[in-house]
C-alpha cells in the first residue's frame, strides 16, 4: 500500500471523528504554466518557486476538538494534531523527528540541535 493510500484512509477516519485535518506538503517546489512534459523534462512558463510548510512538517496536520472538563467551564478547544505517515520500508528524517519533538514536548527548534549534538558526543 502506498503512503498516499494510507494518508487518505487516515484523513477519512479523522473526519469521522470530528478532526479537521489536511495533507500538507513541506519544502519548496516550482509552479507555473506547463509548456511541455516529456522525456522526464518539465518546461514551465513563468516559473516561480513556492515555499510549502517548513521542512520536517508532518504529512497530515489539523485541529482536534476536545471538551474541557467542568473545572474548565465546559468549553471546547482545538488541539493541534500532527500525523507522520511512513510505509514500512521508509524511515523518518531528522527534520521530521525534530518537528514531532516540538509538537509533543514543546522544545524550541533552536535548542534541540545543541542538545542532540551533546548527546551524540557523550
Residues 18-55 have pLDDT tens digits of 888 999 888 888 999 999 999 999 999 999 999 888 88
- H helices within the chain, ranges in order? 3-16, 94-105, 112-121
Residue 6, Cβ density class (10 Å: 0-12 exposed, 13-18 middle, ≥19 buried): middle
Query: Would you say 54 and 79 are in contact if contact means Cβ atoms under 8 Å apart?
Result: no
Domain boundaries, the chain: 3-35+44-121
Residues 63-122 have pLDDT tens digits of 888 777 777 777 777 778 887 787 777 777 777 777 777 776 655 544 444 333 333 333
Measured distance CA(50)–CA(95) in Å, rounded: 19
Entry pTM: 0.59
Measured distance CA(16)–CA(18) in Å, rounded: 6
Query: Would you say 60 and 21 are in contact if contact means Cβ atoms under 8 Å apart?
Result: yes
pLDDT of residue 105: 63
Measured distance CA(82)–CA(57) in Å, rounded: 8
Residue 102: CB partners within 8 Å, gap ≥ 6?
A: 108, 109, 112
Predicted confidence band at 9 (pLDDT cuts at 50, 70, 90)?
Answer: very high
Amino acid at each position: 500500500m502506498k503512503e498516499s493510500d494510507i494518508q487518505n484512509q487516515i484523513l477519512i477516519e479523522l473526519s469521522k471523528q470530528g478532526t479537521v485535518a489536511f495533507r500538507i506538503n513541506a519544502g519548496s517546489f516550482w509552479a507555473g504554466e506547463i509548456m511541455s512534459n516529456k522525456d522526464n523534462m518539465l518546461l514551465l512558463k513563468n516559473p516561480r518557486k513556492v515555499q510549502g510548510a517548513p521542512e520536517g512538517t508532518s504529512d497530515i496536520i489539523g485541529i482536534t476538538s476536545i471538551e474541557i472538563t467542568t473545572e474548565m467551564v465546559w468549553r471546547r478547544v482545538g488541539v493541534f494534531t500532527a500525523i507522520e505517515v511512513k510505509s514500512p520500508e521508509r524511515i523518518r528524517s531528522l527534520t521530521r523527528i525534530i518537528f514531532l519533538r516540538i509538537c509533543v514536548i514543546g522544545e524550541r527548534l533552536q535548542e534541540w540541535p545543541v542538545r542532540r549534538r551533546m548527546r551524540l558526543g557523550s
